[in-house]
Amino acid sequence: MTTDCLFCKIVHREVPTEFLYEDNDFVVFKDIHPAAPVHLLVVPKKHIRSINDLHEEDETIVSGLFMLARDMAKDQGIHTSGYKLLFNVEKGGGQVIFHLHLHLIGGWKR
């Protein structure tokens, strides 16, 4: 837990947020400023700043992020229509919350 991190606060329920999914290692919630009809954030509970800060010991977190994103895409009914998965990395990459998260974006009518 990093005390000045918004996503740590969300994970620890200090900032009330509806979880679409939660287990020991991850939470999933809706992005507050959705860029598409479906825009979820898949977030490890462990505080990791960005992709740059992953270590060997985080391998199961990385695989878990992708498997959970796959499951959430199916849950949201967008797995066959298609979706985007996105990591923003550091400021130049558009990252504004420095707690690792995977964007799951989809649900367009096209």
Question: Given the rule CB under 6 A, which of 51-59, 66-74, 77-85, 90-98 is the region that contacts ligand AMP?
Answer: 90-98
Q: If contact means CB under 5 to 8 A according to the sort of partner, which of Zn ion, ligand AMP, none does residue 32 touch?
A: ligand AMP
- Cα gap 109→76, rounded to integer Å: 14
Q: Record the tokens describing residue 15, joined without a space.
A: 């900032």
Which of 80, 84, 74 is CA-nearest to residue 34? 84
Instruction: Sort 101 into a burial class: Cβ within 10 Å, 0-12 / 13-18 / 19+.
Output: buried
Select the residue interacting with ligand AMP from 11, 27, 95, 104 (CB under 6 A). 95
**Nearest distance from C-beta of residue 94 to Zn ion, angstroms:** 18
31 lies in the binding site for ligand AMP (CB under 6 A):
yes
Q: If contact means CB under 5 to 8 A according to the sort of partner, which of Zn ion, ligand AMP, none does residue 8 touch?
A: Zn ion
Catalytic residue positions, numbered = 101
Closer to ligand AMP by Cβ: residue 33 or 109: 33
In this structure, what DSSP letter does residue 3 have?
T
Any idea what the Cα angle at residue 85 is, between residues 64 and 65, rounded to 5°? 10
Interface residue list for ligand AMP (CB under 6 A): 6, 17, 29, 31-33, 41, 88, 94-97
